[in-house]
Amino acid sequence: MATTTLPLRTPLPVQTRLAGVVPDVEGHILTPILEDIDRLKQERNAVVLAHNYMTPDIFHGAADLRGDSLELARLAAETPADVIVMAGVHFMAETAKILSPDKTVLIPDPRAGCSLADSITGADIRALRERYPGVPVVTYVNTSAEVKAESDITCTSSNAVRIVESLGVDRVLFLPDRYLGAWVATQTDVEVIGWEGACEVHERFTGEEIAELRASDPELAILAHPECPPDVLAASDIVGSTSQMVGWVRDHQPAKVVLVTECSMADNVAAEAPDTEFVRPCNMCPHMKRITVQNIRTALETMQHPVEVDPAIAERARRAVTAMLEAS
Ligand code: 13P
Ligand code: SF4
Protein backbone atom coordinates (compact mmCIF):
# COMPACT_ATOMS: atom_id res chain seq x y z
CA MET A 1 0.00 0.00 0.00
CA ALA A 2 1.33 3.48 -0.89
CA THR A 3 2.29 5.79 1.98
CA THR A 4 1.58 9.27 0.70
CA THR A 5 1.76 12.05 3.28
CA LEU A 6 -1.56 13.85 3.42
CA PRO A 7 -1.45 17.63 3.06
CA LEU A 8 -4.98 18.13 4.39
CA ARG A 9 -4.79 16.72 7.93
CA THR A 10 -6.87 18.84 10.28
CA PRO A 11 -4.14 20.77 12.10
CA LEU A 12 -6.03 21.96 15.20
CA PRO A 13 -6.37 20.11 18.51
CA VAL A 14 -9.74 18.42 19.09
CA GLN A 15 -10.77 20.90 21.80
CA THR A 16 -10.18 23.82 19.43
CA ARG A 17 -12.19 22.16 16.67
CA LEU A 18 -15.11 21.64 19.05
CA ALA A 19 -15.03 25.09 20.67
CA GLY A 20 -18.36 26.86 20.05
CA VAL A 21 -19.62 23.81 18.16
CA VAL A 22 -20.90 21.58 20.99
CA PRO A 23 -21.48 22.28 24.73
CA ASP A 24 -18.40 21.67 26.93
CA VAL A 25 -19.96 18.64 28.60
CA GLU A 26 -20.48 17.00 25.21
CA GLY A 27 -16.96 18.01 24.20
CA HIS A 28 -15.53 16.02 27.11
CA ILE A 29 -17.29 12.88 25.89
CA LEU A 30 -16.34 13.46 22.26
CA THR A 31 -12.67 14.29 22.78
CA PRO A 32 -11.30 10.74 23.29
CA ILE A 33 -13.34 9.45 20.34
CA LEU A 34 -12.08 12.20 18.05
CA GLU A 35 -8.51 11.70 19.25
CA ASP A 36 -8.82 8.01 18.38
CA ILE A 37 -10.11 9.00 14.93
CA ASP A 38 -7.14 11.37 14.42
CA ARG A 39 -4.68 8.63 15.38
CA LEU A 40 -6.36 6.00 13.22
CA LYS A 41 -6.44 8.34 10.23
CA GLN A 42 -2.68 8.75 10.48
CA GLU A 43 -2.11 5.01 10.88
CA ARG A 44 -4.36 4.12 7.94
CA ASN A 45 -3.40 7.08 5.75
CA ALA A 46 -7.10 7.84 5.68
CA VAL A 47 -9.31 10.88 5.20
CA VAL A 48 -12.84 11.47 6.40
CA LEU A 49 -15.02 13.15 3.77
CA ALA A 50 -18.15 14.65 5.27
CA HIS A 51 -21.33 15.83 3.61
CA ASN A 52 -22.82 19.14 4.77
CA TYR A 53 -25.64 17.19 6.51
CA MET A 54 -23.36 15.50 9.02
CA THR A 55 -23.86 16.47 12.65
CA PRO A 56 -21.50 19.23 13.92
CA ASP A 57 -19.30 16.80 15.91
CA ILE A 58 -18.48 14.98 12.66
CA PHE A 59 -18.50 18.06 10.42
CA HIS A 60 -16.23 20.19 12.62
CA GLY A 61 -14.57 17.50 14.72
CA ALA A 62 -13.82 14.48 12.52
CA ALA A 63 -13.88 15.60 8.87
CA ASP A 64 -10.78 16.42 6.85
CA LEU A 65 -12.78 17.52 3.84
CA ARG A 66 -16.37 18.73 3.62
CA GLY A 67 -18.83 19.67 0.93
CA ASP A 68 -21.89 19.08 -1.18
CA SER A 69 -22.24 16.08 -3.48
CA LEU A 70 -20.22 17.65 -6.29
CA GLU A 71 -17.39 18.76 -4.01
CA LEU A 72 -17.24 15.33 -2.35
CA ALA A 73 -16.98 13.66 -5.77
CA ARG A 74 -14.12 15.96 -6.74
CA LEU A 75 -12.35 15.55 -3.40
CA ALA A 76 -12.67 11.77 -3.58
CA ALA A 77 -11.09 11.78 -7.02
CA GLU A 78 -8.20 14.03 -5.91
CA THR A 79 -7.23 12.85 -2.43
CA PRO A 80 -3.86 11.12 -2.16
CA ALA A 81 -5.10 9.08 0.84
CA ASP A 82 -5.23 5.28 0.66
CA VAL A 83 -8.50 5.08 2.56
CA ILE A 84 -11.60 7.26 2.24
CA VAL A 85 -14.18 7.13 5.02
CA MET A 86 -17.41 8.55 3.61
CA ALA A 87 -19.39 10.36 6.26
CA GLY A 88 -22.45 10.55 4.07
CA VAL A 89 -24.83 8.12 2.41
CA HIS A 90 -24.17 5.03 0.34
CA PHE A 91 -24.40 6.60 -3.13
CA MET A 92 -21.69 9.09 -2.10
CA ALA A 93 -19.39 6.27 -1.03
CA GLU A 94 -20.12 4.44 -4.28
CA THR A 95 -19.31 7.56 -6.30
CA ALA A 96 -16.00 7.82 -4.44
CA LYS A 97 -15.24 4.17 -5.23
CA ILE A 98 -16.21 4.64 -8.90
CA LEU A 99 -13.74 7.54 -9.16
CA SER A 100 -11.01 5.88 -7.07
CA PRO A 101 -11.26 2.14 -7.74
CA ASP A 102 -7.81 1.47 -6.25
CA LYS A 103 -8.60 3.12 -2.92
CA THR A 104 -10.39 1.53 -0.01
CA VAL A 105 -13.68 3.36 0.50
CA LEU A 106 -15.47 2.72 3.79
CA ILE A 107 -19.01 3.60 4.78
CA PRO A 108 -19.45 3.52 8.58
CA ASP A 109 -23.04 2.22 8.26
CA PRO A 110 -23.98 0.54 4.97
CA ARG A 111 -27.68 1.05 5.73
CA ALA A 112 -27.27 4.80 5.06
CA GLY A 113 -29.41 4.88 1.92
CA CYS A 114 -31.46 7.51 0.10
CA SER A 115 -35.09 7.61 -1.05
CA LEU A 116 -34.01 9.03 -4.41
CA ALA A 117 -31.45 6.28 -5.02
CA ASP A 118 -34.15 3.72 -4.15
CA SER A 119 -36.63 5.18 -6.65
CA ILE A 120 -35.05 3.97 -9.89
CA THR A 121 -33.15 0.96 -11.29
CA GLY A 122 -30.95 0.31 -14.28
CA ALA A 123 -33.86 -1.61 -15.89
CA ASP A 124 -36.06 1.50 -15.55
CA ILE A 125 -33.52 3.52 -17.52
CA ARG A 126 -33.24 0.87 -20.23
CA ALA A 127 -37.04 0.94 -20.58
CA LEU A 128 -37.01 4.76 -20.81
CA ARG A 129 -34.37 4.65 -23.51
CA GLU A 130 -36.62 2.35 -25.56
CA ARG A 131 -39.53 4.72 -25.09
CA TYR A 132 -37.47 7.86 -25.89
CA PRO A 133 -34.83 6.69 -28.38
CA GLY A 134 -31.91 9.09 -28.81
CA VAL A 135 -32.85 11.30 -25.83
CA PRO A 136 -29.83 11.67 -23.53
CA VAL A 137 -30.13 10.53 -19.93
CA VAL A 138 -29.02 13.03 -17.25
CA THR A 139 -28.95 11.35 -13.85
CA TYR A 140 -28.74 12.97 -10.44
CA VAL A 141 -25.79 11.58 -8.46
CA ASN A 142 -28.26 10.43 -5.78
CA THR A 143 -28.50 7.07 -7.56
CA SER A 144 -26.83 3.65 -7.50
CA ALA A 145 -23.74 2.80 -9.56
CA GLU A 146 -25.94 0.54 -11.69
CA VAL A 147 -28.16 3.51 -12.60
CA LYS A 148 -25.18 5.76 -13.29
CA ALA A 149 -23.80 3.08 -15.60
CA GLU A 150 -26.96 3.33 -17.76
CA SER A 151 -26.70 7.15 -17.95
CA ASP A 152 -24.97 9.54 -20.35
CA ILE A 153 -23.96 12.04 -17.70
CA THR A 154 -24.62 12.68 -14.03
CA CYS A 155 -25.37 15.98 -12.33
CA THR A 156 -25.72 17.34 -8.81
CA SER A 157 -27.98 20.01 -7.39
CA SER A 158 -25.25 22.60 -7.92
CA ASN A 159 -24.70 22.01 -11.65
CA ALA A 160 -27.93 20.43 -12.97
CA VAL A 161 -28.91 23.33 -15.27
CA ARG A 162 -25.37 23.67 -16.63
CA ILE A 163 -25.14 19.93 -17.32
CA VAL A 164 -28.51 19.82 -19.11
CA GLU A 165 -27.52 22.79 -21.29
CA SER A 166 -24.02 21.41 -21.95
CA LEU A 167 -25.54 18.63 -24.05
CA GLY A 168 -26.79 20.98 -26.79
CA VAL A 169 -30.06 19.08 -27.27
CA ASP A 170 -33.77 20.03 -27.25
CA ARG A 171 -34.85 17.52 -24.63
CA VAL A 172 -33.38 15.30 -21.96
CA LEU A 173 -34.49 12.52 -19.67
CA PHE A 174 -33.79 13.88 -16.19
CA LEU A 175 -33.85 11.27 -13.40
CA PRO A 176 -34.92 10.47 -10.76
CA ASP A 177 -35.90 13.60 -8.72
CA ARG A 178 -39.17 15.05 -10.01
CA TYR A 179 -38.70 18.28 -8.06
CA LEU A 180 -35.13 18.94 -9.14
CA GLY A 181 -36.25 18.12 -12.70
CA ALA A 182 -39.18 20.54 -12.42
CA TRP A 183 -36.86 23.26 -11.11
CA VAL A 184 -34.33 22.69 -13.92
CA ALA A 185 -37.21 23.00 -16.42
CA THR A 186 -37.93 26.52 -15.09
CA GLN A 187 -34.30 27.55 -15.67
CA THR A 188 -33.76 26.36 -19.27
CA ASP A 189 -35.45 26.07 -22.66
CA VAL A 190 -34.47 22.39 -22.85
CA GLU A 191 -37.51 20.10 -22.46
CA VAL A 192 -37.14 17.99 -19.33
CA ILE A 193 -38.74 14.54 -19.17
CA GLY A 194 -38.78 13.52 -15.52
CA TRP A 195 -39.26 10.56 -13.19
CA GLU A 196 -41.31 10.14 -10.04
CA GLY A 197 -38.56 10.02 -7.40
CA ALA A 198 -38.42 12.43 -4.46
CA CYS A 199 -36.27 13.14 -1.45
CA GLU A 200 -38.22 12.09 1.63
CA VAL A 201 -36.70 15.00 3.59
CA HIS A 202 -37.21 17.91 1.19
CA GLU A 203 -40.62 16.89 -0.13
CA ARG A 204 -42.04 17.48 3.37
CA PHE A 205 -41.54 21.26 3.16
CA THR A 206 -44.67 23.09 2.00
CA GLY A 207 -45.46 26.43 0.41
CA GLU A 208 -47.66 27.29 3.39
CA GLU A 209 -44.73 26.75 5.74
CA ILE A 210 -42.60 29.14 3.69
CA ALA A 211 -45.42 31.71 3.57
CA GLU A 212 -45.69 31.55 7.38
CA LEU A 213 -41.93 32.03 7.74
CA ARG A 214 -42.08 35.00 5.38
CA ALA A 215 -44.97 36.54 7.30
CA SER A 216 -43.11 36.05 10.59
CA ASP A 217 -40.33 38.38 9.48
CA PRO A 218 -40.12 40.15 6.10
CA GLU A 219 -36.34 40.55 6.58
CA LEU A 220 -35.79 36.78 6.78
CA ALA A 221 -33.62 35.42 3.95
CA ILE A 222 -35.10 32.12 2.71
CA LEU A 223 -32.69 29.70 1.01
CA ALA A 224 -34.08 26.43 -0.37
CA HIS A 225 -32.65 23.25 -1.79
CA PRO A 226 -33.91 22.36 -5.31
CA GLU A 227 -35.12 18.94 -4.06
CA CYS A 228 -38.06 20.89 -2.50
CA PRO A 229 -41.48 21.09 -4.19
CA PRO A 230 -42.05 23.91 -6.73
CA ASP A 231 -44.25 26.08 -4.46
CA VAL A 232 -41.49 26.07 -1.83
CA LEU A 233 -38.87 27.12 -4.38
CA ALA A 234 -41.13 29.80 -5.87
CA ALA A 235 -41.57 31.35 -2.42
CA SER A 236 -37.84 31.31 -1.57
CA ASP A 237 -35.22 34.00 -2.20
CA ILE A 238 -32.41 31.71 -3.33
CA VAL A 239 -32.38 28.14 -4.68
CA GLY A 240 -29.11 26.23 -4.40
CA SER A 241 -27.17 23.18 -3.39
CA THR A 242 -26.07 22.79 0.21
CA SER A 243 -22.67 24.39 -0.46
CA GLN A 244 -24.24 27.17 -2.51
CA MET A 245 -26.34 27.99 0.58
CA VAL A 246 -23.26 27.94 2.81
CA GLY A 247 -21.46 30.25 0.37
CA TRP A 248 -24.43 32.65 0.21
CA VAL A 249 -24.57 32.98 4.01
CA ARG A 250 -20.81 33.54 4.14
CA ASP A 251 -20.89 36.19 1.40
CA HIS A 252 -24.05 38.06 2.48
CA GLN A 253 -23.96 37.61 6.25
CA PRO A 254 -27.76 38.07 6.57
CA ALA A 255 -29.16 39.15 9.94
CA LYS A 256 -31.62 36.26 9.86
CA VAL A 257 -31.82 33.25 7.57
CA VAL A 258 -33.64 29.95 7.15
CA LEU A 259 -32.04 27.07 5.27
CA VAL A 260 -34.88 25.01 3.81
CA THR A 261 -33.04 21.71 3.84
CA GLU A 262 -31.83 19.03 6.27
CA CYS A 263 -31.45 20.22 9.91
CA SER A 264 -27.75 19.73 10.52
CA MET A 265 -26.85 22.25 7.83
CA ALA A 266 -27.98 25.17 9.98
CA ASP A 267 -26.04 23.84 12.99
CA ASN A 268 -22.86 23.53 10.92
CA VAL A 269 -23.14 26.94 9.28
CA ALA A 270 -24.21 28.65 12.51
CA ALA A 271 -20.97 27.59 14.19
CA GLU A 272 -19.12 29.74 11.63
CA ALA A 273 -21.62 32.61 11.34
CA PRO A 274 -22.06 34.01 14.88
CA ASP A 275 -23.68 37.24 13.65
CA THR A 276 -26.48 35.49 11.77
CA GLU A 277 -29.63 34.23 13.45
CA PHE A 278 -30.84 30.91 12.07
CA VAL A 279 -34.52 29.98 12.01
CA ARG A 280 -34.52 26.20 12.26
CA PRO A 281 -37.42 24.13 11.00
CA CYS A 282 -36.13 20.58 11.38
CA ASN A 283 -36.56 17.94 8.67
CA MET A 284 -33.97 15.30 9.45
CA CYS A 285 -32.51 12.76 7.01
CA PRO A 286 -32.61 9.41 8.84
CA HIS A 287 -30.03 7.97 6.44
CA MET A 288 -27.44 10.69 7.01
CA LYS A 289 -28.03 10.38 10.75
CA ARG A 290 -26.87 6.74 10.71
CA ILE A 291 -23.31 8.07 10.57
CA THR A 292 -21.85 8.88 13.99
CA VAL A 293 -18.40 9.64 15.40
CA GLN A 294 -18.58 6.22 17.07
CA ASN A 295 -19.11 4.29 13.85
CA ILE A 296 -16.49 6.41 12.03
CA ARG A 297 -14.00 5.32 14.71
CA THR A 298 -15.12 1.69 14.34
CA ALA A 299 -14.80 1.90 10.55
CA LEU A 300 -11.19 3.04 10.89
CA GLU A 301 -10.41 0.42 13.55
CA THR A 302 -11.91 -2.53 11.69
CA MET A 303 -11.81 -1.27 8.08
CA GLN A 304 -15.55 -1.90 7.86
CA HIS A 305 -17.60 -1.49 5.66
CA PRO A 306 -15.71 -1.48 2.35
CA VAL A 307 -17.79 -0.37 -0.63
CA GLU A 308 -17.37 -2.50 -3.73
CA VAL A 309 -18.67 -1.81 -7.23
CA ASP A 310 -18.55 -4.42 -9.98
CA PRO A 311 -15.64 -3.27 -12.20
CA ALA A 312 -17.70 -3.46 -15.43
CA ILE A 313 -20.46 -1.33 -13.90
CA ALA A 314 -17.91 1.01 -12.33
CA GLU A 315 -16.23 1.62 -15.68
CA ARG A 316 -19.51 2.66 -17.34
CA ALA A 317 -20.61 4.70 -14.32
CA ARG A 318 -17.20 6.43 -14.26
CA ARG A 319 -17.79 7.69 -17.81
CA ALA A 320 -21.02 9.40 -16.72
CA VAL A 321 -19.50 10.92 -13.57
CA THR A 322 -16.32 12.02 -15.35
CA ALA A 323 -18.41 13.64 -18.09
CA MET A 324 -20.09 15.69 -15.35
CA LEU A 325 -16.81 16.69 -13.69
CA GLU A 326 -15.41 17.79 -17.06
CA ALA A 327 -18.53 19.82 -17.91
CA SER A 328 -18.83 21.61 -14.56
P1 13P B 1 -26.12 18.57 -2.25
O2 13P B 1 -25.26 18.58 -1.03
O3 13P B 1 -25.32 18.19 -3.45
O4 13P B 1 -26.85 19.85 -2.41
O5 13P B 1 -27.18 17.40 -2.08
C6 13P B 1 -28.11 17.34 -1.11
C7 13P B 1 -28.52 15.97 -0.76
O8 13P B 1 -29.64 15.72 -0.46
C9 13P B 1 -27.54 14.93 -0.70
O10 13P B 1 -28.13 13.81 -0.25
FE1 SF4 C 1 -31.42 11.20 0.06
FE2 SF4 C 1 -32.89 13.27 0.80
FE3 SF4 C 1 -31.40 12.04 2.62
FE4 SF4 C 1 -30.23 13.51 0.70
S5 SF4 C 1 -31.56 14.24 2.31
S6 SF4 C 1 -29.63 11.46 1.38
S7 SF4 C 1 -31.61 13.16 -1.04
S8 SF4 C 1 -33.13 11.14 1.50
- Domain extents in the chain: 14-112+288-302, 117-198, 202-278
Q: What percent of the chain stands above pLDDT 70?
A: 97
Share the mean pLDDT of the chain: 95
What pLDDT score does 36 carry? 98
- Decide if 14-112+288-302 and 117-198 have a common fold: yes
Fold topology of 117-198: Rossmann fold (3.40.50)
Provide the terminal-to-terminal Cα distance of the chain, rounded to the nearest Å. 32
What pLDDT score does 7 carry? 43
What pLDDT score does 301 carry? 98
| CA of 183 relative to ligand 1 center, distance in Å | 15
CATH of domain 14-112+288-302: 3.40.50.10800
Question: pTM of the full predicted structure?
Answer: 0.95
Helices 263-270 and 242-252: angle between axes, nearest 10 degrees? 30
pLDDT digits over 148-200, tens only?
A: 999 999 999 999 999 999 999 999 999 999 999 999 999 999 999 999 999 99
Pocket test for ligand 1, best of 242, 263, 284, 287 (most atoms within 8 A of CB): 242
Residue in 82, 64, 80 with CA at minimum distance from that of residue 10 = 64
Query: Looking at ligand 2, which residue's alpha carbon is closest to its atom 1?
Result: 114
Sheet of 153-155: strands edge to edge?
A: 153-155, 137-140, 171-175, 191-193
What pLDDT score does 2 carry? 36
- pLDDT confidence bin for 3, thresholds 50/70/90: very low
| CA of 172 relative to ligand 2 center, distance in Å | 23
Q: Which atom of ligand 2 is nearest the CA belonging to 261? A: 5
- pLDDT confidence bin for 235, thresholds 50/70/90: very high
Residues with CB under 6 A from ligand 2: 89, 114-116, 142, 199-201, 227, 262, 285, 287-288
Q: Is 3.40.50.10800 the CATH classification of the domain at 202-278? A: yes
DSSP conformational letter for 5: P
Whole-angstrom Cα distance, residue 194 to residue 224?
A: 20
- pLDDT confidence bin for 281, thresholds 50/70/90: confident
